[in-house]
Structure 1
Amino acid sequence: MSGEATRFGASRIQALEGRDAVRKRPGMYVGSTGERGLRQMVFELVDRAVNEVLGGRATRVDVTLTPDGGVRVTDDGPGVPLDAPGAPGGPGLEALLTQMQARAGAGGRHEVTFAFSRLGPAVVNALSRRMTAEVRRGGVRWVQEYTRGVAATPPTEAGTAAGSGTTLAFWPDVALFEAAAQFSFDALEERFRELACLNRGLQMTLTDLRRPDQHRSVQFCFPGGVRDFVDVLDGHAAASAPMDPIAFACEDPRMAGVMEVAFRWCRCPGERVRSFANSRATVDGTHEAGLRDGLTAAVTAYARQHGLLTATDPGIGADRIGEGLTAVVSVKLDRPEFQGATRSVLANGDVGDCVGQAVQDHLGRWLRDTPERAATVIGRIVQGARRH
């Protein structure tokens, strides 16, 4: 190879920024160029709309898969401001949809964040062949069109509006995504159900209009919070469970946040434990460790006190505690700390002790107050531990 062929200088470096960088490497910004990436584009828009509800500025979020391959996300909030960035009420519409500025830091306890790149609607706009924005604000309906991340029209007044809110619709650029990739109704349904269970009072709908003969729509609202989530995870087995879910919510200043926990044992094999931090699904972390420590401590103490374990018997291992267990632990923190590039492991040190103590206290109280059901549940756990 000649020296000329191998020479590499600054003139050959291609610097890409903003929209161009996103379109060059879409997988870096939404996770993949397949179904998962398409799903993440929906999440990037839903993130903003859900936070309008959690902030008390809206009451519901509606997501629609349209017959022409698009997705429409609507909220009934005050409507995105049409003014320049920095105006009261947040960034202006065009700034929201075009400026690639990641939100600083992790969202606090009053926000959900399941965006991948934290660039929000701007990254969706860049990866879409078309995006439309409709803002209903101050009695006026405004519309704007975008093509591949660039404004094709200015915000245009399009009549009167009876209410307020924002509707963002997008059509992915098929040149950037795998040909067979489609939005998965089931995957979106699962995530929205989680989100509604983790945030009491959040109302969402998901509607699929892609096939004329197979329209379907699901509504999500779970007043029981994570208690309802446990029932969802158990499915039909919930009807035959020997106990109702034990559920509680409390704030602990030591961890600068709140926790919501629900759990029960049923006759299903294995365990179903789900953990979340600021409504983000986690695969492990201090909150999940605290849940297991609290359950183990309460069960072992009860078993020893009632003679189900002798003084010489070893304690019950966490693996036996988990047999037949369904549990959800959700923490919402002012300053969440995550490990790993995927931010799927919660690392806040104080959270484990706080969750563990609260779980031990609440389960211990239930065991004392419901001796017959307690004997059934703990007896089965102890017998299983002895067999192993």
Structure 2
Amino acid sequence: MTAETLYGADDLTHLEGLEAVRKRPGMYIGSTDSRGINHLFAEVVDNSTDEGVGGHASSVVVTLHADGSVQVDDDGRGIPTGVHAKSGLSGVELVLTRLHAGGKFGGSGYKTSGGLHGVGASAVNALSHRFDVTVKREGKVHRMSFAHGVPGVFDGDGPKAPFTKRSGLDVVGKMRRGERGGTSIRYWYDARYFENGAALDVEAVRAKLRNTAFLVPGVSYVLRVEDREDPGTYAEESFHFPNGLTDMVEFLAPDGERAVSGTLLVTGEGTYQENAADENGVMRSKVARRAEVEVAFRWGTGYERTVECFTNTIRNAHGGTHRKGFERAAVKALQEAITKTRGLLKPKEDPPTLDDVLEGMTAVVHVRVPEPQFTSQTKDELSTAGITKVMQGVLERHLREWTEDRRTKAEAKVVLQKIVDAGRVRLAQKQQKDAARRKTALEGAAMPPKLVDCRTTGVARSELFLVEGDSALGSARMARVSEYQALLPLRGKILNVQKASLADTLRNAEIAAIVQVLGAGTGRTFDLAAMRYGRVILMADADVDGSHIRTLLITLFAKYMRPVIDDGRLYAAMPPLHKITTRGRSAETIFTFTQREMETTVARLERSGKQVVTPVPRFKGLGEMDADELWDTTMNPATRSVRRITLGDAEAAEAALELLMGEKVEPRRNWLVDSAARVDQSAIDV
């Protein structure tokens, strides 16, 4: 019997409704550790916040019960309780049991919203033992319960009470005269969907409510935590900041730091265009959008910078296009002001950089966007491209007015002088360190002969590419900018340092070359200030072996050169997999990074009438690219995509490395068996 006859229709799996969330929770909530549990809470409270943003709610109360359940109450309009014509379900059951259902995909329900991926409350419902919702609306009190997303009735309190499946929304009473409407949700998340030890972080909840209260000054937030030792007793904390972002800047500014300027509050709006689907799902080009911008910032006498970014009240930990616009505007407007102000810059002195402008700054960047695009369901980074220009335009105008208006010109000049002084100190320190560092590294020891070094004596701009194989080295040598890009080829896979001793590690020729070239030592004696390059970029093939090599190199840096990762100076290059070319007068070349992206791009080009050269070639390795292709896609700082390697939680990262690459086989085997069901078998290239 052949493999084809063994594989039939009965082997296909179709996940319906919320089953997909339970099967792959990390896909919908970002992770299955404590961050995933925190994300469940964020999804629920963000729905209440959207009511407050729209002016429909003035209070949000969060209660953390002693039994582990979380309750969120608001005094907004309440989830619609009427019957949805198409599905035949009540509005409550529809939004809590169906993915991509709600009032945030068009219509007049919400002008802006934090949750537009459509898996928020329904994903929480799917991953909860019990999920209770009470809606006060149109004079009635409605109630409904769910068990792992299935509607029904619990006969008693708590998640272990007997449960009977039953669809439908019950009316359990009438609202009191003058009572406001609203929604109350209480859920008991199911720990089986999360890693051992994962739990809701009370401090993260507190920070979320505090930040949101800054961003929505018209709403009061209350956190109530029930005492586990004395049930029925609650510690209560309120968050309400009528001055909004101005209060937030004062809160974030370092304690004891003297302000160099007052807090500047910038508000404005602008339009941008983007491609979007209409109500029928057909893509339309150049759909007009309007975004609102709100920024508050000040400079202090210190050196630390704090820039917090938010979209529709959702914190974007990795910034995004709004932060890019903020930074561009700040650098451009203030550089212009410094150049125009007589006596600030000396002849032939370079203008300050972004680092100089941000030194000592505390800033909060907030945008309200109708349909924001994020890089992931956890919304850590805003990717809506048009926001950059909107933010840049609004902020540039304000900064020019601030530096030129006679009422604020004196204050602005103090800030401009601080920025210029910061640039001078930076350059002096860099020149002093570079002179000593390069002389010691280059003259004190012979570099490996295979190192293709760069010419610059500066560290900030220089880059060291750790290149997989000699074949890729040839193209990389021709593609690089020899002024600031150095290359170190690696033969095969380096030693797995998670299993090896320090002595064996340092005897490995490839690892010894890396340590020698970086010039900063290893382990406890590693000196980040002595490192010869500003960035280290791992450049491996976009295949399984390349992924293995990257993993081994990341392990090396995590164990013996951790400060490189902590300082954000270790990156992984992202070479493309496919090269798509079209024929005709307006021929174009597009590089894609995944099979799905390639297929989607080809389909889009063919729909637009362009003739795609087929078959689409797939790069088997970096050595197959010519110098121009490698430069454009992987090495050019202006066009390349690189992924910064981070360790958000060092202890958790070390545990993961020990599990996956350590000496103990049994825990790894158990993890592989337990995780086998999480593998998308259709994505395996066999």
2:143 maps to a residue whose letter is: V
2:174 paired residue number = 160
Which residue pairs with 1:219 in the alignment?
238
Contact 2:125–2:146 at 8 Å: present in 1 too? Answer: yes
- Report the Cα offset of residue 347 of structure 1: 4.3
2:131 matched to which residue of 1?
131
2:641 corresponds in structure 1 to: none
Instruction: Using the TM superposition, name which of 75-84 and 64-73 deviates more.
Output: 75-84
Structure 1 residue 289, shift from structure 2 partner? 2.4
Secondary structure of the corresponding residue to residue 218 of structure 1:
strand
1:65 aligns with 2:100: no
Give 1:66 shift: 0.8
Q: In the TM superposition, what are the counterparts of 1:106-125 in structure 2 within 5 Å?
A: 110-114=111-115, 118-125=118-125
Any idea what SS the aligned residue of 1:18 has? coil
The answer (yes or no) to whether the contact 2:99–2:118 under 8 Å persists in 1 is: no
State the Cα deviation string for residues 197-256 of structure 1 (Å, max 9, x = none). 223313222222153469433322222222222112115246x21222111211224562
Task: Work out which of the residue numbers 296, 306, 314 in structure 2 matches 1:262.
Answer: 296
Q: Aligned pair in 2 of structure 1 residues 306, 86: CA closer, same or farther (>3 Å)?
A: farther
Identity %: 32
Map of 2:327 onto structure 1: 292
RMSD: 3.0
1:314: Cα distance to partner? Answer: 1.6
Q: Which runs of 5+ in 2 are unaligned?
A: 154-167, 273-288, 428-686
| TM-superposed deviation, 1:73 | 1.0
1:245 corresponds, among 263, 266, 288, to 263
The 5 A counterparts of 1:146-185 are: 146-153=146-153, 154-162=168-176, 163=179, 164-185=181-202
Cα distance 1:345–1:107, how it changes in 2: closer, same or farther (>3 A)? farther
1:40 to 1:340, Cα distance in 2 relative to 1, 3 A: closer
Q: Does 1:80 find its partner at 2:99? A: no
User: How far has the Cα of 1:60 moved from its partner?
Assistant: 1.7
Whole-Å Cα distance in 1 between the matches of residues 391 and 128 of structure 2?
Answer: 43
1:258 shift after superposition = 1.4
What is the aligned counterpart of 1:377 among 412, 415, 420? 415
For residues 316 and 66 of structure 1, do their structure 2 counterparts lie closer, same or farther at Cα, with a shift above 3 Å needed? same
Distance 2:63 2:85 in 1: 31
Whether the 8 Å contact between 2:338 and 2:344 is mirrored in structure 1 is yes
CA shift for structure 1 position 323: 1.0
- Displacement after TM superposition at 1:167 (Å): 0.8
Are the aligned partners of 1:259 and 1:331 in contact in 2 as well (CA < 8 Å)?
A: yes
Number of the residue aligned with 1:333: 369
Kindly state the Cα deviation for residue 320 of structure 1 after the two structures are TM-superposed.
0.9
Would the aligned equivalents of 1:107 and 1:334 in 2 still touch at CA under 8 Å?
no
Residues 286 and 106 of structure 1, relative CA distance in 2, 3 Å threshold: farther
2:399 corresponds in structure 1 to 363
Structure with bigger RCO (C-alpha 8 Å, 6+ apart): 1
| CA drift at 1:93 | 1.7
- Verify: 1:205 aligned to 2:222, yes or no: yes
SS at match of 2:15: coil
- Corresponding residue to 1:280 among 294, 298, 314: 314
Partner of 2:208: 191
Q: 1:31 to 1:287 in 2, by over 3 A?
A: closer
Q: Deviations over 1:58-110 (max 9, x none)?
A: 222111111111011111123333322259xx962222222223567699983
Matched with 2:542 is: none
Instruction: For 1:207, give the aligned amino acid.
Output: R
Is contact 2:267-2:394 (8 Å) kept?
no
1:165: how far off?
1.8
Superposition TM-score, scaled by structure 2 size: 0.51
* Alignment check: 8 A CA contact 1:106 1:335 kept: no
How many angstroms does 1:337 deviate by?
4.2
Q: Is the 8 A contact 1:98 1:122 kept in 2?
A: yes
Larger Rg: 2
**Deviation for aligned residue 1:47:** 2.5
Q: Shift of the alpha carbon at 1:35?
A: 1.4
Q: Where does structure 1 lack aligned partners over 5 or more consecutive residues?
A: none
Change (3 A) 1:333 1:311: farther
8 Å CA contact 2:142, 2:172 repeated in 1? yes
Identify the range of structure 1 (136-145 vs 318-327) with the bigger mean alpha-carbon deviation: 136-145
Q: Distance in 2 between matches of 1:107 and 1:208?
A: 37
Contact 1:27 1:33 in 2 (8 A): yes
Contact kept in structure 1, 2:29 and 2:377, CA below 8 Å: no
Which residue is 2:305 aligned to?
A: 271
Q: Give the secondary structure class of the aligned counterpart of 1:131.
A: strand
Matches within 5 A, 1:91-106: 92-102=91-101
Identify which of 208, 216, 234 aligns with 2:253.
234
In structure 2, the CA distance between the partners of 1:73 and 1:338, relative to structure 1 (3 Å rule), is closer
Q: TM-score, normalised by structure 1?
A: 0.87
The letter for the 2-side match of 1:267 is T
C-alpha distance in 2, partners of 1:80/1:336?
Answer: 22
Q: Contact 1:69–1:210 (CA<8 Å) still a contact in 2?
A: no
Partner of 2:18, secondary structure, is helix
1:329 positional shift: 1.8
8 Å CA contact retained: 2:112, 2:370: no
Q: Deviations over 1:250-300 (max 9, x none)?
A: 122456221111111112323111222333333243322222222223332
